[in-house]
Amino acid sequence: MKIVILDGHALNPGDLDWKCLDPFGEVTLYDRTATEAEAITRSQGADILLTNKTPITPTLLDACPSVRLVCVQATGYNVVDTAAAKARGIPVCNVPSYGTDAVAQYTFALLLELCHRIGLHDTLVHQGRWSECPDFCFWDTPQMELAGKTIGIIGFGKIGRAVGRIARAFGMNVLAYSRSQCIEGQSIGCYVELDELLQRSDIISLHCPLFPETREIINAQTIARMKDGAILLNTARGPLISEDAVARALHTGKLRGAAMDVVTQEPIPTDSPLLTAPNCILTPHMAWAPTESRARLLNCVADNIRAFLEGHPQNVVNP
């Protein structure tokens, strides 16, 4: 059994151990694969392909007929042409839920940074501003308390509900917009329609999948229905927002602030309107990166391979 890892560096830059894959066969690791041609060359003779962001295209699958399984080292699997894989009898497996706690925690890290600008004030202290201050304290940005505020969570799956539970611990009111409802969700927040969520929320946090109907769900029209001075958070998928519309709303003050760990094109292009928008915190798609969550991800990839070889594939996204 030949296993090829096309872009292993993102998951494991060196602090995890790939040996959990050794029992399944010969493992060939590439840190990065830049082009489709390179991916095709490297995938020759492979039985199992592991990818994070390297596209698995119909052209690649046609050129590599030995491929029997594609394992996505992530929850999102839009980099794989799942229909093309299914047509060739190739299951595509993802890793759901490995980063629920990490992403929920990170969502609040972004929110708290917007509330207090701790990083900025740490820099100012180290620059001598506090030492030179005539008073015992100072702050250069408005400070915001979360208790009593309303957070609207778009997408109330496992991560959205985890964010809701943290919000409740902060004394916040929780609204949720989701295509489905569950008893657990009802115990955390109140399900409402999107318009009501937009109108009532002080903070809006995105946790929905990227589907055609959710692409740019945050746009000029939906922003116009938000409260003046609302805060926007996105730790889900970059294309859920119109970046031009969000940048304009930050410039006009319609949005008090925005914090995003994902953008439409990654890495972010140097001409992105978000880079020059005020009160906009941007981080490089790292909410999933705690060692603990990546270890869970790698172990689940191994479990997915084991289940496939035992004849009962799991976490198949193209059944």
Burial class (CB in 10 A: 0-12, 13-18, 19+), 142: exposed
Q: Which residues pair with 176 in a beta bridge?
A: 153, 191
266 noted as active-site residue: yes
Determine the residue type at 106. Answer: Y
Among 117, 285, 294, 296, the active-site one is 285
285 noted as active-site residue: yes
Q: How far apart (Å, rounded) are the C-alpha atoms in residues 301 and 306?
A: 9
237 noted as active-site residue: yes
Strand order, beta sheet including 203-206: 190-191, 173-177, 150-154, 203-206, 230-234, 255-260, 280-282
Closest listed residue to residue 281, CA positions, set 319, 242, 255: 255
Among 237, 256, 294, 296, the active-site one is 237
Q: How far apart (Å, rounded) are the C-alpha atoms in residues 84 and 299?
A: 27
Answer for the pair 49, 1: CB distance below 8 angstroms, yes or no: no
Strand 203-206, strand 150-154: pairing:
parallel
Catalytic residues: 237, 266, 285
